[in-house]
Amino acid sequence: MRVQVAIIGSGPAGLLLGQLLYKAGISNVIIEQRSKEYVLGRIRAGVLEQGTVDLMDEAGVGQRMHAEGLVHDGTELCFKGERHRIDFKKLVNKTVMIYGQTEVTRDLMDAREAEGLTTVYEAHNVSVHDFDGAHPKVRYEQDGVTHEVQCDFIAGCDGFHGVCRASVPQDALRTYERVYPFGWLGILSDTPPVSHELIYCNHERGFALCSQRSPTRSRYYVQCSLDDKAENWSDEAFWAELRLRLDEEAAANLITGPSIEKSIAPLRSFVAEPLRFGTLFLAGDAAHIVPPTGAKGLNLAASDVRFLWQAMVDHYRGNQVALEHYSERCLSRIWKAERFSWWMTSLMHRFPDTGEFGQKIQEAELAYLVGSTAAATSLAENYVGLPFQD
């Protein structure tokens, strides 16, 4: 097979890049080691910045998102038993969209299938070759047969554990990482959300988040130990713990029910530099991880895709230096999002080594945040997504 761009990974980053390239007349194939059902079964975040919404529209897949997504004008911070609203619309005149990553993936998959574009699922032993030269290749096995894709460029959208970053020579790559000393125990339930906007809770027992996927489906989290296991938590124990961390009104209004998914996610910050290695480009979780506190993971992936798509379009239109700036443009935005996600995580969680002093400092900063228009504006500006520097 011969295409202009071989995309490794069929998560939102790979699918969005494939759709945008197709719309620009650039041939591509997506190669995925998992099954389509596995990819769709992954439960992930669902807060979309306006820039991500715009990209979905640009890719021609925004219709269902606009019909079913929930536009949020703000969010609430809860500490010392009281809630305080950060009004995005008033402070920065922007909003976010609540629309699950599973639905984003489904919309992109459906669009790709409708156009008859090739996605190879359950591709085994995927490997990338010769990306330090002008004729890169991707090889994979399927049904006992080895296949080779020849291309101009390889887009590594295959996640944190994928083959693309792992194939880069160690001396060409630098990584930065922080692993947090706690995780998030999360459940998904077919119950109405406790609030029409997200609630971020700072509590002496630990962080909690009240989120949602739709008017009838909720996503809730509580901070937990890394040693904990989801099977140790009954639904009843989870709901009881969540109530303890909410304000009285939210605790009283919380509607509980059976969980349809329950898991524990560790938190880490991670960045790889650079993001280009000859004709291989890293994007999304292959390049960076953020803790979910700032709702930046999917949006950063979309940001990478935006820069890579635009640079590839410019390249094929004759701008031979367009791709040279991909890494630096992405990393400038990545590190700003990493900072915000680290700050939100540090502000809202209970850390084992800071004790009561640390809790008091967090409460003082939160009080300043909700009492200062300048501080609240900074939070709002970062949460809804910083502007692109084109």
* Residues forming the active site: 72, 200, 292, 296, 383
Closest CA to 361 of 371, 370, 350: 350
Closest CA to 57 of 89, 85, 16, 92: 16
The partner residues of 211 in beta bridges, in order of sequence, read 219
The span from the CA of 313 to the CA of 355, in Å, is 52
The span from the CA of 291 to the CA of 177, in Å, is 11
The span from the CA of 220 to the CA of 236, in Å, is 13
The partner residues of 173 in beta bridges, in order of sequence, read none
Q: Are strands 5-8 and 28-31 parallel, antiparallel or unpaired?
A: parallel
The span from the CA of 135 to the CA of 148, in Å, is 12
DSSP-derived 3-state class of residue 151: coil
DSSP-derived 3-state class of residue 133: coil
